[in-house]
Amino acid sequence: MSDSVLLTVCLRASFLAGAVGSKIVFHPLDTIRTLQQTSTNFNYILPLHRYWRGLGASVALTTPAFTTYMVSYRQCKRFLTPYIGDDSMANYVISGAVAELASSFIWTPMEVIKGRMQISSKNISTLQIIKRIYATEGLRGFFRGYVMGIVVFLPHSVVWWVTYEKTKAWMEKRGELGLKEYAVSSAAATCTASVASNFLDVVKTRQQLAVSDEIRGMRPDDQKSVFQVGKNLIKEVGLGRALFKGLHIRLLHSLPSSVLSMIIVETLNPDTKKSREKHHGEQRQSFEAADV
């Protein structure tokens, strides 16, 4: 097995472990976040099984989405390194944007299916939700809020990676990177990006679920446009609270989930200055051996 194939296998295995592990552990918090953002249920003491609704769809689609996201980021970053360096702001921004664009076709259907199940007052299976969405909206129904998702997560991804890489590089100058450093870097990135994108994330979630039975009964005009969704949100809680609606629940979910994911990824497949120098050295040796 060649070094490049082995590297790809290791990358995918580490990203798979990070995606599945974090989703299973923190899914109940994601359910509470969805209920909070959509204002469909203010009682977060639920029957135990309701906390896990949508987990199947989440794991099934998050796995390829997160793997695509991370592989795209790492490979784009590696591709750009000879041209703009591996620790430049431009590299982080471009790689983060490419990763989001490459994976968004998987993230959006996952969010729609999972969200419908989480806010549903009825016991319904993943297959039933998929059939219902397809029957009433066609394939377009699975990509409801896709453009808004790009609007939210493209800048979110850029802010996240710039913060993460800069924090990690700053800590690496002061010593060997370990679990604590990965955790701190990931936490700083998640907090910064979540605060910056929270209002748009709430609007995106509400738009994706606007045609569900639960939302249609509460806010039927949410279906009109994303601007109407934002207007209704501000009217409901005021501009100040709208900017931070559900942020505490979102952080309770995304903070440990992100930290766990990156600890797993960086432990199994580290991306540090030391590891990159080692990789470049091995590449040079391979080229020299090939020339001989």
SS (H, E, C) the chain: CCHHHHHHHHHHHHHHHHHHHHHHHHHHHHHHHHHHHHCCCCCCCCCHHHHHCCHHHHHHHHHHHHHHHHHHHHHHHHHHHHHHCCCCHHHHHHHHHHHHHHHHHHHHHHHHHHHHHHHCCCCCCHHHHHHHHHHHHCHHHHHCCHHHHHHHHHHHHHHHHHHHHHHHHHHHCCCCCCHHHHHHHHHHHHHHHHHHHHHHHHHHHHHHCCCCHHHHHHCHHHHCCHHHHHHHHHHHHCHHHHHCCCHHHHHHHHHHHHHHHHHHHHHHCCCCHHHHHHHHHHHHHHHHHHHC
Q: What is the pLDDT of residues 153-179, one digit of tens each?
A: 899 999 999 999 999 999 998 888 899
pLDDT at 287 over 60: no
Q: Residue 60 above 60 pLDDT?
A: yes
275, pLDDT greater than 80: no
Residues 3-273, CATH architecture: Alpha/alpha barrel (1.50)
Decide if pLDDT at 291 tops 60: no
Residue 284 has pLDDT above 70, yes or no: no
Q: What is the pLDDT of residue 39?
A: 81
pTM of the predicted model over 0.85: no
